């Protein structure tokens, strides 16, 4: 080899050796990494292997894999699977609202049930009408704070009548007409103005008994309506008067009185143990006639009359009437009144 060429080779030798050393180091590093993957050092955790890809097989078909989300054709599929709904049975419902037998018009009513809601107002006859699916419904009347239920039956028309409590009231005090003292345990009854028995099914509209102070209060009556008030107690005469609901009244009861009559003939002899008729008439009232039997002394006791003045006369066995006698009926029995009659024996 020429000297010049050898000199040039010698000058490049360090570079060649450095390149060889770098290549050897790189190969060693690669070999060490490969050994680490194959056999981890003591105390090192192996790197977890990647899970195998899921491959569908006949034992686990894709059809059994749950689907997340909604397929674009799912709604259509459900409609296809559902059976068509049967025709819904309905009923014509009529609800009539009344207060003590009087229709309540223009009153709001709401119904809810079976996925259905209806609302409206009663007409002039107090009736609300609606076509509803058969079933039970919640009925609300907001103006009265009333909630109830009604069932629409599977017939052509379902009619329900609801009797609502009135919003009127009547209060007052019952006292003795003579002493002014309170009368406890008196019975106070409210009837329609025309009187009991004129409105079948709704004759008595309300009642109460007076307390120890003679006071009473009756609720749930028709508002602003004239009514008949009847007050009675065993020791006092019954009183009837017309009043208007929504007010307080004072009722004065006359105590019940009694009187004793002695019946004699024209000779002044007692008419003993004889049946008689007695006519009793208040000064400004109609006369009432009763049948009675005299005792062995020709006497008769009349009780349970309101205290006051009366005109009385008697007759025996269809004979002529005696002269009228004026008596005072008092809670305390006084002197007997003597009534002279003409008997059949005296007439002969």
| Segment 142-170, tens digit of pLDDT | 888 888 998 888 777 888 888 888 888 99
Question: Is the predicted pLDDT of residue 47 greater than 60, yes or no?
Answer: no
Cβ 238 vs Cβ 255: under 8 Å: no
* Average pLDDT for the chain: 78
Round to whole Å and give the CA distance between 217 and 170: 6
23: three-class secondary structure by DSSP: helix
Average pLDDT over residues 8-13: 58
pLDDT, position 146: 85
Angle at 241 between CA 184 and CA 100, to 5 degrees: 95
198: three-class secondary structure by DSSP: coil
- Per-residue confidence band for 178, with pLDDT thresholds at 50, 70 and 90: confident
Distance of CA 145 to the CA centre of its chain: 9
Question: Is the predicted pLDDT of residue 321 greater than 80, yes or no?
Answer: yes
Q: How far is CA 15 from CA 168, 245, 286, 321, in A?
A: 122, 127, 156, 172
Round to whole Å and give the CA distance between 299 and 293: 9
Cβ 128 vs Cβ 95: under 8 Å: yes
pLDDT, position 130: 92
pLDDT, position 52: 47
Round to whole Å and give the CA distance between 148 and 108: 14
- Token pair 């490969």 is at which residue? 34
Bridge pairing between strands 226-233 and 146-152: unpaired
Q: State the burial class of residue 308 (Cβ atoms within 10 Å of its Cβ: 0-12, 13-18, 19+).
A: middle
- Per-residue confidence band for 331, with pLDDT thresholds at 50, 70 and 90: confident
Q: How far is CA 88 from CA 72, 110, 156, in A?
A: 31, 21, 14
Angle at 228 between CA 225 and CA 231, to 5 degrees: 135
Average pLDDT over residues 203-214: 91
Q: State the burial class of residue 168 (Cβ atoms within 10 Å of its Cβ: 0-12, 13-18, 19+).
A: buried
Q: Express as a percent the part of the chain with pLDDT over 70.
A: 71
62: three-class secondary structure by DSSP: helix
Query: Between 59 and 234, whose confidence is greater?
Result: 234
Q: To which H or E segment does residue 10 belong?
A: helix 3-38
Domains along the chain with CATH numbers: 90-163 (2.60.40.10), 168-253 (2.60.40.1120), 256-347 (2.60.40.1120)
Instruction: Determine which of 57-71, 127-141, 191-205, 292-306 has the lowest per-residue pLDDT on average.
Output: 57-71
| Segment 283-309, tens digit of pLDDT | 778 899 999 999 999 999 998 888 889
Nearest to 196 by CA among 240, 237, 238, 164: 240
């Amino acid at each position: 080899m020429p000297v010049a060429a050898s000199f040039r080779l010698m000058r490049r030798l360090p570079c060649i050796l450095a390149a060889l050393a770098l290549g050897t180091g790189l190969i060693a590093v690669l070999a060490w990494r490969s050994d680490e993957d194959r056999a981890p050092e003591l105390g090192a955790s192996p790197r977890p292997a990647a899970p195998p890809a899921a491959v569908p097989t006949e034992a686990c078909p894709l059809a059994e894999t749950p689907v997340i989300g909604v397929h674009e054709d799912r709604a259509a599929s459900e409609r296809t699977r559902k059976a068509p709904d049967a025709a819904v049975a309905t009923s014509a419902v009529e609800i009539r609202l009344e207060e003590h037998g009087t229709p309540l018009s223009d009153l709001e009513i709401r119904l809810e049930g079976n996925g259905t809601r209806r609302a409206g107002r009663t007409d002039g006859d107090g009736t609300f009408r609606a076509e509803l699916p058969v079933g039970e419904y919640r009925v609300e009347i907001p103006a009265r704070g009333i909630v109830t239920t009604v069932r629409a039956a599977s017939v052509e028309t379902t009619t329900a009548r609801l009797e609502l409590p009135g919003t009127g009231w009547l209060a007052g005090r019952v006292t003795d007409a003579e002493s002014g003292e309170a009368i406890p345990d008196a019975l106070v009854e409210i009837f329609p103005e025309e009187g009991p028995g004129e409105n079948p099914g709704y004759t008595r509209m309300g009642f109460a008994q007076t307390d120890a102070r003679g006071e009473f209060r009756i609720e749930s009556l028709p508002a602003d309506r004239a009514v008949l008030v009847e007050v009675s107690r065993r020791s006092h005469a019954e009183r009837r008067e017309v009043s208007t609901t929504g007010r307080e009244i004072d009722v004065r009861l006359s105590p019940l009185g009694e009187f004793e009559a002695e019946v004699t003939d024209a000779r002044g002899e007692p008419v003993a143990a004889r049946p008689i008729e007695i006519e009793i008439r208040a000064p400004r009232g109609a006369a009432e006639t009763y049948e009675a039997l005299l005792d062995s002394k020709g006497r008769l006791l009349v009780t349970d009359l309101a205290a006051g003045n009366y005109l009385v006369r008697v007759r025996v066995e269809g004979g002529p009437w005696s002269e009228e006698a004026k008596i005072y009926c008092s809670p305390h029995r006084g002197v007997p009144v003597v009534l002279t009659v003409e008997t059949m024996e005296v007439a002969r």
